[in-house]
Chains A and B, each alone.
Chain A
Amino acid sequence: MKPIDHAEASSHFIEAKAHLEFHDRRLWDLRVKRDRQAHNIPEWEELRNLASAIKEHTLSHLGDYLEEFEAKAKSNGAQVHWARDASEHNQIVHDILSAHGAKTLVKSKSMLTEECDMRPFLETRGVKVIETDLGERIQQLDDEPPSHIVVPAVHKLRGDVSDVFARTIGSEPGNNDPHYLAEAMRRDTRPYFLGAEAGMTGANFAIAETGSFVVCTNEGNADLSANVPKLHIACIGIEKIIPKFEHLAVFIRMLSRSALGSPITQYTSHFRAPRPGTELHIVLVDNGRSQRLGMKDFWYSLKCIRCGACMNTCPVYRRSGGLSYGATYSGPIGIIIDPAFDIRKYSNLPYASTLNGSCTNVCPVKINIHDQIYKWRQVMAERNQLPLVKKEAIRIIGKVLSDPRLYRAAISATGLAIEHLPRFAIYNWLNPWGRQREVPEAPKRSFRSWYLENRRRQ
């Protein structure tokens, strides 16, 4: 498997100037709104500490809380399934749908089902799957994965959406009015809500104490998906558990403020039991999470509540777009999650960061994102995942910088340096530097030679 080349993908993203500028501005705007909301709450930093502590506690006792959740959910009348990995998850969902003769599934946005690649699995088995979140639906109709975990089509301009809708759901070509487009999507989706035999949601939080779970949306589409059909399937990653109902408020106060800079989502829907005459199935999914929980440096990433604040603030993400990461999860959080799924495929991602640390500062659950990116780089080097040219270049620089004589020769570009430094080692750095930037002029003498002349003689 060839590793994802984020740098190459980003160069294409940057070439599309209007898209790039909109993308950067739109996401920066979310970051600014997030600041405003967060800074309006005097105890914000305290909330972050609390949220982090609750998550770390829960993850350290995950087995117990999962069992408590299962027992309570069952006593509420829900049916609980356990999925070890993506394929078990997809199979379980398909089995439930088959048992009900369900041919159409309306679903709200779920990164977990993206992670499991569920849609193609069901579609090849004759189930029609309809995404009902506007952004997610745009992406589905355009046959593209979401580029952002909260705003899945943020890389598209309204003209792009208009083109996709005209091509796929018969909206008026060239009509770029957002209200018209939203209405077109609504008209297309409503019949599916009414006719589907099954509905699916994810969950933002699952509460062990009550066996209930919570879904936060702004469009109400999760409520329609869950409450119109007679079958509700909820797919929940095992890290979504929190111990008690009272803990929920800590996270609800932070989620939408961090994500979109709004105080709360339009809908915060609690699901506890199936309505009379319907079934509620909960699929608890591991898919690599318990393995990650065992990783000393990386288990903290399981605290993530998928708010996307780290993506919005990330200057690299804003200028390269989510699709350039070639993974379900992009941006800073993606960089620290994706390699745990496939180290080879995502071996370049930890380098798609300047280690500026803004992600860590905005994270509502205080994941040390940039420290983990740094650590992942060490893992990549140890596991020999660096491209040969980079690896060699760094080896040579390391050699030069550990030898004062060689170093001095290198910076004065004497024969000794040229002898020891193959041309590729020099041009490997100079070429990419000089493509869009001037190379600094070499001064007449180094600081050291100045020092020898001006201080040593005194």
Chain B
Amino acid sequence: MRVGLFIPCYVDAFFPEVGIATLQLLERLGIEVVYPLDQTCCGQPMANSGCQKDAAGAEALFVANFQEFETIVTPSGSCAHHVREHLDAIPQTPAVEKVRRGTYELVEFLHDIVKVEEFPWAAFPHKVGLHNACTTLRKLRTAKASEIDEPFFSKPLDLLRKVRGIEFVTPSRPDECCGFGGTFSVFEEPVSAKMGYDKVEDHHRAGAQYIVSADMSCLMHQKGCAERLGLDIGFIHIAQVLNGSRG
């Protein structure tokens, strides 16, 4: 299987280790991974602000970079969601439709498409609080949301349970939003920061040594909050854990 790897701008710029872990993990699973060199962003920051015209350039570039791939994988739920559900600032050509159809968030790709059975190289002997980003949880539906009464399921937990030594702790409000919200984090700074504080303190009280998430943007925000509060808690992307990082 051959996939196009989309590394979102903020991961490329601030968290290269998450991109590296994603690439290595996919390669370990026998997948041929191609990283188009001229990629930047999916258009989400502009589109989420309502500025469709400003999103069009990034969206067109995204499609140009990835249209040759049947499958596109990205370690970011909100970016995958943007491409699939909201990449509509440009005319919907067959190339655009193909890219939108073929884009997967990493966890759902590993869980639903590759159907990974084991990660023999992975061990993470720590107490972990899982953070599901809201878009990943409620829109890509990678796990059961607390509002909906349905049988429990969690794709990220299914994967993490295959990691040796890992222990889970549950905060009191497991799927309360952490307050990142893209441009919300700066447009609405007071509430954003307060939500972030509440989130990391909730995990801390539950005894989490690490917060693990499939979305680095939430973690970037939570890490900034935890550091300011002086909380001793680590933040790590699920790709790193599944790729064998020991924390």
Q: A residues near B, CB below 8 A?
A: 6-7, 10-11, 14, 20, 24, 28, 35, 38-39, 44-45, 313, 315-316, 319-320, 350-358, 360-362, 374, 376-382, 386, 390-391, 394-395, 397-404, 407, 411, 428-429, 432-433, 435-443, 445-448, 450-452, 455
Chain B 175-207: CB-based contact to A (< 8 A → 1; otherwise 0): 111011111111111111111111000000000
Chain B 23-61: CB-based contact to A (< 8 A → 1; otherwise 0): 100000000000101111101011011111111111011
Contacts A319-B198, A395-B54 given; 12 further ones with Cβ under 8 A?
Answer: A10-B191, A14-B191, A39-B149, A319-B195, A354-B180, A361-B145, A390-B49, A399-B54, A403-B40, A437-B224, A450-B19, A455-B23
Nearest chain A CB to B242 CB, angstrom units:
17
**In the complex, A381 Cα to B34 Cα: how many Å?**
36
Instruction: Check B73 for interface membership: any CB of A closer than 8 A.
Output: no
Instruction: Check B97 for interface membership: any CB of A closer than 8 A.
Output: no
Q: B residues near A, CB below 8 A?
A: 7, 9, 11-20, 23, 35, 37-41, 43, 45-46, 48-58, 60-61, 86, 134-135, 138-139, 145-150, 173, 175-177, 179-198, 220-221, 223-225, 227-228
**In the complex, A44 Cα to B147 Cα: how many Å?**
11
Nearest chain B CB to A369 CB, angstrom units:
12
B173 touches A28 (CB 8 A): yes
Sample (26) of A-B pairs whose CB atoms are under 8 Å apart:
A14-B190, A20-B194, A35-B147, A313-B147, A315-B195, A352-B191, A354-B180, A356-B135, A357-B138, A358-B147, A361-B138, A374-B86, A398-B55, A404-B40, A404-B61, A407-B9, A407-B40, A411-B12, A432-B185, A432-B187, A436-B197, A446-B12, A446-B13, A447-B7, A447-B11, A447-B19
Please give, as numbers and ranges, the residues of chain B lying within 8 Å of A451 by CB-CB distance.
19, 23, 35, 37
**In the complex, A357 Cα to B132 Cα: how many Å?**
13
Nearest chain B CB to A253 CB, angstrom units:
14
Residue of A nearest to B193 (CB): A436
B176 touches A315 (CB 8 A): yes
B225 touches A429 (CB 8 A): no
B50 touches A350 (CB 8 A): yes
Please give, as numbers and ranges, the residues of chain A lying within 8 Å of B46 by CB-CB distance.
394, 397-398, 401
Please give, as numbers and ranges, the residues of chain B lying within 8 Å of A437 by CB-CB distance.
193, 196, 221, 224-225, 227-228
Please give, as numbers and ranges, the residues of chain A lying within 8 Å of B15 by CB-CB distance.
440, 443
B37 touches A355 (CB 8 A): no
Nearest chain B CB to A351 CB, angstrom units:
5
Nearest chain B CB to A390 CB, angstrom units:
7
B187 touches A7 (CB 8 A): yes
Please give, as numbers and ranges, the residues of chain A lying within 8 Å of B51 by CB-CB distance.
381, 386, 391, 394-395, 398
| Cβ 8 A contact of A353, one of B52, B184, B186, B190 | B184
Please give, as numbers and ranges, the residues of chain A lying within 8 Å of B18 by CB-CB distance.
447
Please give, as numbers and ranges, the residues of chain B lying within 8 Å of A28 by CB-CB distance.
173
B189 touches A433 (CB 8 A): yes
Query: Which of B35, B40, B51, B190 is packed against the most chain A CB atoms within 10 Å?
Result: B190
